[in-house]
């Protein structure tokens, strides 16, 4: 042990005296004896020894001691060295490495983008179906054949339904009675012979044949409205059968009733009480009592306007 200590002293003595500077500027000269993590022991003025605490020494002295490879004091000094800003930045610098990125698609048209993805195709199919359904709704409102409007909407999307929407509503024939003209009497009958006989004149008096007067109140015929020939919806009912809505009937409909044939049976209607977008409520007589019945438009097969006595 003693031999090692003396060898250390010999090594330090061979290095030579070093001037140490404190942080406050005070300087001291001596030879290094040994270095420890807590302090540096030096020999000054012959046999006197001093302990120099690391944090009391100036940065210049610490750097000088750390840079000398013969002293091997760097592990003790490093915690007390002030790191320069450049060195700090270099140590903490973050190196950004390139990462793989997805290639951005070439910018194109909206339709091209829709056809280029599955989600876009689904959106286009939904729009196409909505276009055909819009054609069906327009055919109901404008009273055109649904197959015709939907077919044109399928061939010419958007444009076809818009064209039919701009057209006027197609009014169905009213079904009013056409009274045929009376046929002329047959030639050679007694009535024609009498009518053709000229009046007989006698004493200023003439006798003429008087024909029978026609019937004043002709009985109206039954009007029939069948599904397929007519579209049964709210507009049609309100237009064709407006006289059956009020409590007080008009003169033309006083002696008439509605006969509605539906999937649930036949209803003899005296008055339409309410109407909605999909059905109507009617007043019918059953077993001598009045009853309100709801009839959906989709179930109506035929509507007739009949004389009450018929």
* pLDDT at residue 286 in the model: 75
Q: Are residues 11 and 74 in the same domain?
A: yes
For residues 156 and 73, the model is more confident at: 156
| Torsion sign over Cα 39, 43, 47, 53 | negative
Q: Please report, rounded to a whole number, the percentage of residues in the chain having pLDDT higher than 70.
A: 72
Residue 150, Cβ neighbours under 10 Å: how many? 20
Where in the sequence is the domain holding 62, given as residue range(s)?
A: 2-92
* pLDDT at residue 171 in the model: 64
Residue 96, Cβ neighbours under 10 Å: how many? 6
Q: Are residues 122 and 83 in the same domain?
A: no
pLDDT in tens, 54-97: 888 888 888 888 777 777 877 887 777 776 666 667 777 788 88
Instruction: CATH number of the domain at 76, please.
Output: 2.30.30.100
Question: Do 252 and 242 contact (CB within 8 A), yes or no?
Answer: no
Q: Select from 166, 181, 209 the last residue of a domain.
A: 166
Instruction: CATH number of the domain at 239, please.
Output: 2.30.30
The number of CA neighbours under 13 Å toward the Cβ of 230 is 23
Q: Are residues 82 and 118 in the same domain?
A: no
- Say if strands 279-286 and 265-275 run parallel, antiparallel, or are unpaired: antiparallel
* pLDDT at residue 213 in the model: 41
Closest CA to 192 of 209, 213, 167, 217: 209
Q: Are residues 72 and 118 in the same domain?
A: no
* pLDDT at residue 151 in the model: 92
Q: Is residue 218 in a domain? A: no
Closest CA to 225 of 211, 237, 210: 237
Q: Are residues 23 and 69 in the same domain?
A: yes
Number of H helices, E strands in the chain: 10, 12
Q: Is residue 237 in a domain? A: yes
Given a cut of 50, is residue 183 above it in pLDDT?
no
Running DSSP on this structure, what letter comes out for residue 31? E
- Give the H/E segment covering residue 271: strand 265-275
Q: Is residue 292 in a domain? A: yes
Q: Is residue 199 in a domain? A: no
The three-state secondary structure class of 131 is helix
What is the total count of domains within the chain? 3
Indicate the pTM of the whole model: 0.32
The three-state secondary structure class of 258 is strand
* pLDDT at residue 108 in the model: 65
Highest mean pLDDT among 8-12, 40-44, 127-131, 189-193: 127-131
Given a cut of 50, is residue 10 above it in pLDDT?
no
> Which tokens belong to 192?
């024609």
Query: What is the C-alpha end-to-end distance of the chain, expressed in Å?
Result: 143
Given a cut of 50, is residue 13 above it in pLDDT?
no
pLDDT in tens, 260-279: 999 888 888 888 888 998 99
Q: Are residues 16 and 84 in the same domain?
A: yes
Q: Please, which pLDDT band fits residue 150 given cuts at 50, 70 and 90?
A: very high
Q: Is residue 121 in a domain? A: yes
Q: Is residue 184 in a domain? A: no
Least confident of 82-91, 116-125, 126-135, 191-200: 191-200
Q: Is residue 150 in a domain? A: yes
Q: Are residues 6 and 84 in the same domain?
A: yes
Distances (CA, A) of 223 to 175, 259, 267, 277, 299: 6, 10, 16, 24, 19
| Torsion sign over Cα 171, 174, 180, 181 | negative
Closest CA to 35 of 51, 14, 18: 51
Q: Is residue 9 in a domain? A: yes
Q: Are residues 7 and 73 in the same domain?
A: yes
Q: Are residues 74 and 32 in the same domain?
A: yes
Q: Select from 166, 182, 207 the last residue of a domain.
A: 166
Given a cut of 90, is residue 102 above it in pLDDT?
no
């Amino acid at each position: 042990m003693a031999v090692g200590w003396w060898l250390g002293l010999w090594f330090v003595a061979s290095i030579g005296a070093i001037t140490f500077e404190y942080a406050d500027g005070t300087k001291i000269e001596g030879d290094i004896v040994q270095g420890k993590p807590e302090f540096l022991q030096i020999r000054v003025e012959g046999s006197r020894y001093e302990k120099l605490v690391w944090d009391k020494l100036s940065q210049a002295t610490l750097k000088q001691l750390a840079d000398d490879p013969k002293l091997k004091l760097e592990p003790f000094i490093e915690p007390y060295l002030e790191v320069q800003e450049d060195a700090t930045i270099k140590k903490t610098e973050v190196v950004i490495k390139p990462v793989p990125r997805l290639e951005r698609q070439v910018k194109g048209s909206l339709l091209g983008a829709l056809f280029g993805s599955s989600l876009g195709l689904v959106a286009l199919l939904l729009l196409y179906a909505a276009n055909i359904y819009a054609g069906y709704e327009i055919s109901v409102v404008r009273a055109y054949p649904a197959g015709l409007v939907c077919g044109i909407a399928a061939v010419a999307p958007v444009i076809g339904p818009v064209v039919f929407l701009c057209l006027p509503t197609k009014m169905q024939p009213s079904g009013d009675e056409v009274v045929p003209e009376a046929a002329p009497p047959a030639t050679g009958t007694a009535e024609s012979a009498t009518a053709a006989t000229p009046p007989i004149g006698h004493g200023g008096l003439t006798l003429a044949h008087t024909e029978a007067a026609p019937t004043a109140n002709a009985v109206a015929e039954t009007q029939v409205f069948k599904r397929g020939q007519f579209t049964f919806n709210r507009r049609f009912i309100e237009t064709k059968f407006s006289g059956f809505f009020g409590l007080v009937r008009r003169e033309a409909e006083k002696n008439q009733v509605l006969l509605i044939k539906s999937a649930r049976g036949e209803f003899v209607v005296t008055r339409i009480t309410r109407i909605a977008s999909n059905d109507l409520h009617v007043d019918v007589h059953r077993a001598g009592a009045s009853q309100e019945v709801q009839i959906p438009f989709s179930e109506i097969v035929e509507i007739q306007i009949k004389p009450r006595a018929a």
